[in-house]
Structure 1
């Protein structure tokens, strides 16, 4: 069975975007220090990405308007908008059902890349197997929270940590 992995960065106070939805604060404490390329190692074990409309829209309008950055992956965009899908870019509207279906299929890991609403739905349904969270050395004070209310606690086991340029990566798996 495939693993559902949340791979995301958050501020020290738990936000994944600032109050305007921006992520330009996602960097280490110094531009002179080297950052580890944790993404390249992570993505080798992934063939599917799931994200919400806001994350998708930010990628195609701000972060990478010239090309779809996840071209090598099958991308599922959770939205209520009715948009035409392709073989590799699928628009759908049922978060937990599609993730449950994907989990049963053959393939590599499934990456939950954002946004908060999608993540919180999957957490409430206890569908996330691993949490890979990079804590950025910034306190935003407000914005879009990573974690919301869940009906019951989720017990995790810490499996890896690393620190570079003020960023701390925390990797947990569900117990």
Structure 2
């Protein structure tokens, strides 16, 4: 069966996965962009997100960035990851942060409380807006992925929901040498050992410490 994986999710030294006051001008919250210096330095990120051929082509950070785009057939996102619009959709003018050809290039299932018609984009990306909850989104993503893995993109609250239900198979977290002071803490109220998760890999680069958590099968 395909795995549900979190990849390249970065937190600060004080545990925040996003800064405070997320909005159109601060999609990652105030100070949130500073978390992602390790990813900005890689060729994978530069190519996939910015369409550039700059960035490092080897090293620990590039290795982890590259694995975040490997063997995925679908994504799941929280609504805040799709855009800053809150409440009922006023119209369908907001089409995401990424322009008409988003980075995903596979089906993307967006968790929301407010229905919206599927949004077909260039490059193979279609956004489906799921109102039935996290398990319904996962079931539809598995079907769409056709045996490949599913990437859970976040944000913090969505990852917490899937963790509490032990639905995440593997999670790569990058810890940046940054202090945010406030925002959304990724592991707030989460007891990873009690949920059956263990650290199975950790390695540091000059820009981040990379940690992989895996759900133990005997739990």
TM-score for the superposition, normalised by structure 2: 0.68
Contact 2:73/2:146 (<8 A) preserved: no
> 1:16: which partner in 2?
17
CA RMSD of aligned residues (A): 2.8
Query: 1:105-162 CA deviation, whole Å, 9 max, x = no partner?
Result: 7321111111122111111211011111011111111001212335882232322222
User: Aligned ranges for residues 6-155 of structure 1 at < 5 Å?
Assistant: 6-7=6-7, 8-21=9-22, 22=29, 23-28=32-37, 36-37=61-62, 38-57=64-83, 64-65=98-99, 67-70=101-104, 72-86=105-119, 88-93=126-131, 94-103=133-142, 106-150=146-190, 153-155=194-196
Q: CA deviation at 1:39?
A: 2.2
Contact 1:28–1:137 under 8 Å retained in 2: no
Q: Paired residues, what number?
A: 172
Instruction: Tell me which of 206, 213, 217 is aligned to 1:165.
Output: 206
CA distance in structure 1 between the aligned counterparts of 2:16 and 2:161, rounded to whole angstroms: 17
Q: Report the Cα offset of residue 63 of structure 1.
A: 5.1
- Alpha-carbon distance between aligned partners in 1 of 2:190 and 2:70, rounded to the nearest angstrom: 31
Once the two structures are superposed, residues 3-37 of structure 1 have per-residue CA deviations (whole angstroms, 9 ceiling, x without a partner) of 111121111111111112323112348x9996722
More off after superposition, 94-103 vs 128-137? 94-103
Unaligned runs of 5+ in 1: none
CA deviations over 1:73-116 (Å, ceiling 9, x no partner): 21001111221104622111211222145447732111111112
Give 1:3's aligned residue. 3
Does 33-42 or 17-26 show the bigger shift? 33-42
Report the TM-score when normalising by structure 1: 0.83
Comparing both structures, which one devotes a greater share of its residues to strand? 1
Relative contact order higher in (CA < 8 Å, ≥ 6 apart): 1
